[in-house]
Structure 1
Amino acid sequence: MLGAGPAGLALAGACARAGLHTVVADPDPHRPWARTFGLWRDELPGLPAGAVAAAPGTALAAGREPHPVPREYVVLDNAGLRRWLADDRVRLVSGRAVAVRHGGAGSSVELASGERLPARVVADARGAPARRVPGAEQVAYGLVLPARALPGADDTAVFMDWRGIPPGPDPSFLYRVPLGDGRVLAEETSLARRPGLDPAVLARRLRRRLAAAGVDTSGCSEVSEELVRIPLDTPPPRPGRTVPFGAAAGLVHPATGYSVAASLILAPRVAGAIATTLPRGPVAAVRAARGEVWSPSALAVHVLRRHALRALLALPPREVPGFFDVFFALPAERQRAFTSGREDLPGTAAAMAALFRSVPGRLRPTLAGFGRPRPARA
């Protein structure tokens, strides 16, 4: 296994529990995870309490108007998540992989130190691969603040709020969640742009937004920064002898930027596929694992989600807040299907069709295909 982030450790632990001898190589496998991760509770109902930092009582979204979101949003406790995913049978190796070589009986990973790690199957969870031409990105700049600075913020997750920033060519929204330890993350987010928006623009907007709410962050020693860049339009990987996983496998939702829940859900399935087929040889095991990650239904849903990303990129900026008013007015099951139903082809198509029927007529040419998606071309 290459990479010791949440996706890598999730798959490594699942492989160990499936009876596979598992090694994780990472330049710093014990480093704390710096990013804030969140997911909808219904995506992973088995998530233990120790892996949850905060479970706000209310989730809200707003385009031009506020909408209660009838789903529970949780912020993950990174240390607790690591403890849940960890397995003492997994060997952690400090080292940067510089090459992976394949042969008939298996593969080997070459580290920068010159050490070689033999393996029957190599999985790669080092994040989205670099691209020669920049694609669409989600970019966010955040500040971690004392909860007392934003009254009421410690029990409300603001999933998306497009209000408060004058319409411009590059719209952005506020994402605000409690962190469960007396702190709150407030993040100015550019949902999708090609290329990604300059974080300095988002930083200025966030400070203006906070200042308008009476929050002065200048000179405050309790404030820390968070910067997020997420490639959105990563296609499924090409055929090969490794098993890409997490963002490296294109698991990032093209229209929301989320991927952690998908990785945690898939890890035991992929590990089971490897363990079951490995007696038939490493090539068969890799093929089975890749098929588990990208089933025909998942591929078809991904086509629809990438279409949704293209539509978001094409929307006139002034129409974006109203578009999300329509989305968050949809029934909860429609919202859930689009944001979380990675293999729910009928639900995803129905959600996109319902959204197409509900938007103002002037937007329908831009959203062409929402009403009559063609997933068979996946």
Structure 2
Amino acid sequence: MADVVIAGGGPAGRALARACARRGLETTLVDPAPGRRWRATYGSFADELPSLPESAVACTPSTTLAFGTRPHVLDRRYLVLDNAGLRTWLDGGYDVVAGTVSGVDHGGQGSSVRLEDGRILATGLYVDASGVRLRGDRYEQTAFGAVLPAEDALRLVDDPDTAVFMDWRETESGFLYVLPLGDGTVLVEETSLARRPGLPLDVLAARLRARLKAVGLTSRGREERVRIVLDAPIPQRGRTVPFGTAAALVHPATGYSVATAIRLADPVADAVVRAWDRGPAAAASAAHRALWPSPARAVHGLRRHGLRALCGMPAEVVPVFFDLFFTLPTGLQRAFTSGREDVSGNTEAMSALFRMSPWTVRKHLIGWRALRRSR
């Protein structure tokens, strides 16, 4: 019998498996395809992550820019994770079982995890890190990207060692994301920040190909498809502990979640260990509290309000909004994008944006003032 069984072999599941194993819990990870490489590109601000080994970082761009209607140099270090190096760092100390979870039965002394092939794994604590399922009409971030040789990317950006966090110029209801990958290639991605339902990937693919064609390029390398649910509700507390996107760790206004999951793995594992002697129900309850303390719930509500405000803006107003956002002090930018439990920082960032906005933007942010007063 394992102490902990975790379903899902992505970065979130493996981060928590590593954290639990390092604390002496017998941990089993259930992965449908343990040998499959992670193909998504993971970028993050460095201050969102714990200390990583050099092998887990593929690239740290020399400069990070953002464009609304004009350029802004971001005073935060941005990095690209090396998927193989990250996985090596997260692997080890726990068992890996190839399979897919079909269901789980909870009892007083533990849980029985059923796999599709009929096997049953007995465990004290069950964690679902298998991702979020798209149900109903949800807000989504979608993107379509192509990996280009750095010399080709020069036709789109001035410096292939510069990351472009977002570029709203010359883009219809979306932005261009440009990320050097550290291996002589650059990811260029046509992105729809937030929409309900998500903008179809074939529309974004057509936009990117038209953009490349306009500068004499064609997409002939690896392509990347992104679809992220932004407004998954905070899960109800129960015996199944969600983690990663299954736990609604996706930032509602940016779509980022990997760094948050890696950072939260240790405190969640700590909470489980502290409650372990009180039984499975107490351990699950402690994990839920570590995932969603009251300040994080309050911030999540503020950010979901920000998501709705962004989606209510006409396309021509959005670049102006981001010009304002990227003129905020770096600390307030960090609070809104990364301060998961920073209620005062998030409310101050939203209040400052409201105060500095012209009426064309402010009328879409009217609720922010009332929301801030209610906190």
TM-score, normalised by the number of residues in structure 2: 0.95
> CA offset at residue 374 of structure 1?
4.8
- Counterpart residue number, 1:28: 33
CA distance in structure 2 between the aligned counterparts of 1:86 and 1:376, rounded to whole angstroms = 45
Contact map agreement 1:142 1:186 (CA 8 A) in 2: yes
> CA offset at residue 323 of structure 1?
0.8
- Counterpart residue number, 2:348: 350
> Runs of 5+ in structure 1 lacking a partner?
none
Contact map agreement 2:65 2:74 (CA 8 A) in 1: yes
> CA offset at residue 9 of structure 1?
0.1
- Counterpart residue number, 2:277: 279
> CA offset at residue 31 of structure 1?
1.2
> CA offset at residue 369 of structure 1?
2.5
CA distance in structure 1 between the aligned counterparts of 2:28 and 2:335, rounded to whole angstroms = 35
- Counterpart residue number, 2:182: 180
Q: What aligned pairs does 1:162-201 form with structure 2 within 5 A after superposition?
A: 162-165=168-171, 167=172, 171-201=173-203
CA distance in structure 2 between the aligned counterparts of 1:31 and 1:240, rounded to whole angstroms = 31
Q: Could you give the per-residue CA deviations for residues 196-237 of structure 1, whole angstroms, max 9, x where no partner exists?
A: 00111111111222233x24116x3xx111000000011110
Q: Which letter does structure 1 place at the counterpart of 2:167?
A: D
CA distance in structure 2 between the aligned counterparts of 1:364 and 1:265, rounded to whole angstroms = 34
> CA offset at residue 86 of structure 1?
1.2
Matched, 1:157 2:163: yes
Matched, 1:235 2:238: no
Contact map agreement 1:8 1:245 (CA 8 A) in 2: yes
> CA offset at residue 156 of structure 1?
0.4
CA distance in structure 2 between the aligned counterparts of 1:153 and 1:370, rounded to whole angstroms = 37
CA 1:153–1:84 in 2, change beyond 3 Å: closer, same or farther? farther
Contact map agreement 2:347 2:372 (CA 8 A) in 1: no
Identity %: 55
Q: What aligned pairs does 1:71-82 form with structure 2 within 5 A after superposition?
A: 71-82=76-87
Contact map agreement 2:50 2:263 (CA 8 A) in 1: no
Matched, 1:59 2:37: no
CA distance in structure 1 between the aligned counterparts of 2:311 and 2:53, rounded to whole angstroms = 37
Q: Could you give the per-residue CA deviations for residues 27-69 of structure 1, whole angstroms, max 9, x where no partner exists?
A: 1123111100011011125122111111001000001111111
Q: Could you give the per-residue CA deviations for residues 310-350 of structure 1, whole angstroms, max 9, x where no partner exists?
A: 00111111111111111111111110000000011110111
Moved over 4 A (4+): 374-377
Matched, 1:124 2:123: no
Q: Which letter does structure 2 place at the counterpart of 1:296?
A: S
Q: Which letter does structure 1 place at the counterpart of 2:34?
A: P
Q: Which letter does structure 2 place at the counterpart of 1:162?
A: W
TM-score, normalised by the number of residues in structure 1: 0.94
> CA offset at residue 98 of structure 1?
0.4
- SS of 1:302's partner is helix
> CA offset at residue 239 of structure 1?
2.1
Contact map agreement 1:300 1:376 (CA 8 A) in 2: no
CA distance in structure 1 between the aligned counterparts of 2:266 and 2:342, rounded to whole angstroms = 19
> CA offset at residue 289 of structure 1?
0.4
CA distance in structure 2 between the aligned counterparts of 1:375 and 1:369, rounded to whole angstroms = 10
CA 1:96–1:375 in 2, change beyond 3 Å: closer, same or farther? farther
> CA offset at residue 150 of structure 1?
1.5
- Counterpart residue number, 2:3: none
Contact map agreement 1:107 1:118 (CA 8 A) in 2: yes
CA 1:375–1:22 in 2, change beyond 3 Å: closer, same or farther? farther
Q: Could you give the per-residue CA deviations for residues 262-286 of structure 1, whole angstroms, max 9, x where no partner exists?
A: 1011000001111111110000000
Q: CA RMSD in A?
A: 1.3
When the two structures are aligned, how many residues end up with a matched partner? 367
> CA offset at residue 372 of structure 1?
3.7
CA distance in structure 2 between the aligned counterparts of 1:28 and 1:186, rounded to whole angstroms = 28
- Counterpart residue number, 1:145: 148
